[in-house]
Amino acid sequence: MEAIEELAVQPCTSSLYLRPFRLSYRQNGMKKFWDFMRTHDSVSILIFNTSRQCFVVVKQFRPAVYMCEIERHHPQVFENQDKESFPSLENPLPAVVGVTYELCAGIVDKPGLSLEEIACEEVLEECGYRVSIADLRRITSYRSGVGVTGSRQTLFYAEVNDQMRTSGGGGQPEEGELIEVVEIPLGESMKFAYDETFPKTMGVIFSFMWFHNNIAPKLPKK
């Protein structure tokens, strides 16, 4: 996962996932504009393994996170961004600075499938557990990246056990996915959520808090 090499930054003139726009408008009599990106909506799933009393999350390299760290250490990389060429990354940072812990998730890009069906596919592909729509509990939906994308993510909860695991997960290599499945013990989950040495998404923190408020009190006492 962390064997990253031959880094090169270049302008993005077209993309299957991002479309940049500028909105011009008038608000309270003042003329304004705002630049934004249109992206796909998404689903995410908080997975709890009841056999081992742990959360199942994923870990993967995120180029956007990595480049934020690159810019923090080498701000010249994004200077003169209107040019066609960027400075070469002669001394790149270790890839681990771009690795994050996340909930199992996926974009909504299959018109024929419901959000629940997409969520079930993602759980199987990324984490190796076969769940049905009946196994899902919808927690809520919310807007992410409100200043840039405004896309909607719908969060589900699924309980699994060891018997439901049919593969090692890891995503779809043919689509370039390289995902590591990670188990976070229930007793260590809140410490993990607030430990900044483990880069993670807000979805992980929020869903762990939701679990401790709504599910944990109902678990059998040991």
Strands 42-49 and 151-160: parallel
* Residue 30 burial by Cβ neighbours in a 10 Å radius (0-12, 13-18, 19+): exposed
- Model confidence at 3, pLDDT cuts 50, 70, 90, reads confident
Enumerate the β-bridge partners of residue 19. 38
Do 69 and 61 form a contact (C-beta atoms < 8 A)?
no
Establish if 65 belongs to a structural domain: yes
Half-sphere exposure of 207 (CA within 13 A, CB side): 32
Establish if 177 belongs to a structural domain: yes
Kindly calculate the radius of gyration of the chain based on its CA atoms and give it in whole angstroms: 20
Beta strands in the chain (DSSP E): 19-27, 30-38, 42-49, 54-61, 99-102, 104-107, 136-144, 151-160, 180-185
Task: Look at the chain and report how many structural domains it folds into.
Answer: 1
Establish if 139 belongs to a structural domain: yes
Do 46 and 210 form a contact (C-beta atoms < 8 A)?
yes
- 172: CATH: 3.90.79.10
Establish if 1 belongs to a structural domain: no
Beta strands in 16-107 (DSSP E): 19-27, 30-38, 42-49, 54-61, 99-102, 104-107
Tokens of 151: 């896309």
Output the pLDDT for position 214. 98
State pLDDT tens for residues 76-130.
777 765 555 565 666 678 899 999 999 999 999 999 999 999 999 999 999 999 9
Do 208 and 216 form a contact (C-beta atoms < 8 A)?
no
Q: What are phi and psi of 131, to 5 degrees?
A: -120, 155
pTM of the model: 0.91
Half-sphere exposure of 203 (CA within 13 A, CB side): 28
On the question of pLDDT at 135 being above 80, the answer is yes
Establish if 14 belongs to a structural domain: no
For residue 192, what are the domain limits?
19-83+90-218
Summarize the confidence of residues 160-172 as an average pLDDT: 92
Output the pLDDT for position 75. 79
Establish if 12 belongs to a structural domain: no
Establish if 201 belongs to a structural domain: yes
